[in-house]
Amino acid sequence: MRLTEDEKAMRDGANGPAVARSMDLLIRYGEALDAERLVETRNVAGAFNASTPSVRHLAEDGFDRVFSELNLDSDDTIEIPRMAVPTCQLITGIDMENSALQGADPALTEMQRQSEKYLGQRGVNMMCTCTPYQVGNVPVQGEHCAWMESSAVIYCNSVLGARTNVEGKESTGAAALTGRIPYWGLHLPENRHANRLIRVEAEVDDMADWGVLGYFTGFAVEENRPAFERLTHQPNLMKLKHFGAAAASSGGVEIYHMPGITPEAPTMEAAFGTSAKPEAICFGAAEKRRTWERLQNATDRKLDFVMLGCPHNSIEQMSLVAELLEGRRIHPDTALWVHTPRALRQIADRSGYTDVIRAAGGEVMSDTCPSISRRLPKGVRVIATDSAKQAHYLPAIAKVQGWFGSVRQCVDSAVAGEWLGVVR
Ligand code: F3S
């Protein structure tokens, strides 16, 4: 791999042992990927926080030990300096304001609190959400990033036109300390063009429709790069957030193009670059219905738990949930958790949304989600969610039955204590 003089100096220890270890890791990683060089990044989103039982023994030796092992793949404990470039923490395992409700071990909660403090002192912004782009981390078009979390990566590449592969804990740790990441995959302009075409012939308008289209897309194109034609409705941030999370769950989609909507595809020709448009895959009424049915992994209608906010809700989504719950009462046998970034929870609190949701018997959660934390209310057998991604993962992770529907169907069902959704 070709290194600049600065990179060679970092590798050789000019900036201390943690940076040297990081460069060594990035060089080995880049060579395994056949990357010719590294590229500078000033935007890292990773997972650094210690919140799980499996790292408790490491944390007993201090958080340098945790970072060294988890984020630099080092058996030796290295003193970790301040991050070299802007870096944020993605989602964590414990909601720091609702840990008791989650049933989290108080010792683990304290470990996470100390870990947050340690990371903050080293310049890691504790956003604690899978949607850093909702709370201030918004890279510009063409910017090279090093992000983890599939739903964030597909948003970063497609909606923002910034550039990242799906990174891991180690590569984001090394990127944060060096400001470098291997130049391969979606960092290269020629790898970003579409190579699949989806023709939309069914109505795709509300949030649930966009989740269903995303879920269909992942199965249809797997790890390829789809472009879309005949979209009839303009999506917004929330719809693209749901769409991308679903496409990255059922398949490995990391970038897509919607001509006239996403920044790298002003036209269909631009989406495909020099390649010809391939034959279209149709998403019509039959495909929409089949995909909707595929998202239903339940038979029992008695509902124990409703999960909203995957990916974490925007403030508009929090407003909608509060509006739907205003003056109503959730069934006593059903729990409702609504997830939003901790920064947006403050706005939800100040706007009165949290009070309305709590008065109805629901909870507003931050920092985590049931799929990541593996913490649900006790005794849950049947869940419902408005997220195709959560409907995909939670039944398998938590061994529960799962219904998928619109946010209105989920809220109405939470109030009734039974699933009221219908297939569209
Ligand atoms: Fe975020 Fe958890 Fe969904 S990490 S995208 S809320 S599965």
Q: What is the pLDDT of residues 200-224, one digit of tens each?
A: 999 999 999 999 999 999 999 999 9
Radius of gyration of the chain measured on its C-alpha atoms: 22
Give the whole-number percent of the chain exceeding pLDDT 70: 100
What is the tens place of the pLDDT at every residue in 79-120? Answer: 999 999 999 999 999 999 999 999 999 999 999 999 999 999
Say how many Å lie between the CA of residue 129 and the centre of ligand 1.
Answer: 8
Rounded Cα gap, residues 208 and 210, in angstroms: 5
What is the tens place of the pLDDT at every residue in 212-268? Answer: 999 999 999 999 999 999 998 999 999 999 999 999 999 999 999 999 999 999 999
Instruction: Go through the domains of the chain in sequence order and give each one's CATH number.
Output: 5-189 (3.30.499), 193-294 (no CATH), 305-416 (3.30.499.10)
Helix (H) / strand (E) element for 346: namely helix 342-350
Instruction: Find tokens 């309305």 and name the residue.
Output: 356
Residues 6+ away with beta carbon under 8 Å from 399: none
Rounded Cα gap, residues 197 and 276, in angstroms: 11
Give how far the C-alpha of residue 300 lies from the chain's centroid of Cα atoms, to the nearest Å: 29
Q: Please give the pLDDT value at position 424.
A: 60
Q: Is the CB of 390 under 6 A from ligand 1?
A: yes
Say how many Å lie between the CA of residue 372 and the centre of ligand 1.
Answer: 7
**Which residue of 238, 313, 389 sits with most ligand 1 atoms within 8 Å of its CB, as the best mutation to test the pocket?**
389
Q: Please give the pLDDT value at position 423.
A: 63
The residues facing 124 across adjacent strands are: 87
Cis check for the bond before 182: say yes or no (omega within 30 of 0).
no
Rounded Cα gap, residues 396 and 373, in angstroms: 14
> What HEC string does 103-116 produce?
CCCHHHHHHHHHHH
What is the tens place of the pLDDT at every residue in 366-422? Answer: 999 999 999 999 999 999 999 999 999 999 999 999 999 999 999 999 999 999 987
Rounding to the nearest 10 degrees, give the CA dihedral for residues 47, 388, 300, 381: 0
Rounded Cα gap, residues 309 and 327, in angstroms: 21
Rounded Cα gap, residues 308 and 317, in angstroms: 9
Task: Tell me: pLDDT of 285 over 90.
Answer: yes
DSSP secondary structure letters along 85-154: S-EEE---SS-TTSHHHHT--HHHHHHHHHHHHHHHHTTEE---SS-GGGTT--PPTT-B-EE--HHHHH
Distance set, CA 120 to CA 82, 173, 391 (Å): 9, 14, 33
Say how many Å lie between the CA of residue 346 and the centre of ligand 1.
Answer: 20
Task: Tell me: pLDDT of 351 over 80.
Answer: yes
| Atom 4 (ligand 1) nearest CA | 130
Give the residue from 128, 58, 56, 121 showing the smallest Cα distance to 97.
Answer: 128
Q: Is the CB of 398 under 6 A from ligand 1?
A: no
Rounded Cα gap, residues 178 and 182, in angstroms: 12
Give how far the C-alpha of residue 261 lies from the chain's centroid of Cα atoms, to the nearest Å: 21
Rounded Cα gap, residues 171 and 22, in angstroms: 8
Q: Are 215 and 392 in contact (CB under 8 A)?
A: yes
Q: Are 338 and 316 in contact (CB under 8 A)?
A: no
Residues 6+ away with beta carbon under 8 Å from 54: none
**Which residue of 88, 151, 238, 241 sits with most ligand 1 atoms within 8 Å of its CB, as the best mutation to test the pocket?**
151
Task: Tell me: pLDDT of 78 over 90.
Answer: yes
Say how many Å lie between the CA of residue 242 and the centre of ligand 1.
Answer: 10
Rounded Cα gap, residues 188 and 194, in angstroms: 13
Helix (H) / strand (E) element for 242: namely helix 237-250
| Atom 2 (ligand 1) nearest CA | 369
Say how many Å lie between the CA of residue 1 and the centre of ligand 1.
Answer: 35
Give the whole-number percent of the chain exceeding pLDDT 90: 99
Say how many Å lie between the CA of residue 301 and the centre of ligand 1.
Answer: 24
Q: Which atom of ligand 1 is nearest to the CA of 150?
A: 5
Q: Is the CB of 338 under 6 A from ligand 1?
A: no
Q: Are 94 and 103 in contact (CB under 8 A)?
A: no
Task: Tell me: pLDDT of 45 over 90.
Answer: yes
Averaged confidence pLDDT in the chain: 97
**Which residue of 94, 372, 383, 397 sits with most ligand 1 atoms within 8 Å of its CB, as the best mutation to test the pocket?**
372
Angle made by CA atoms 64, 66, 69, in degrees to the nearest 5: 105
| Atom 1 (ligand 1) nearest CA | 311
Q: Is the CB of 91 under 6 A from ligand 1?
A: yes
- Rounded to two decimals, the pTM is 0.98
Q: Is the CB of 90 under 6 A from ligand 1?
A: no
Q: Which atom of ligand 1 is nearest to the CA of 370?
A: 2
The residues facing 37 across adjacent strands are: 2
Q: Please give the pLDDT value at position 279.
A: 98
Give how far the C-alpha of residue 156 lies from the chain's centroid of Cα atoms, to the nearest Å: 10
Q: Please give the pLDDT value at position 422.
A: 76
| Atom 6 (ligand 1) nearest CA | 310
Say how many Å lie between the CA of residue 181 and the centre of ligand 1.
Answer: 25
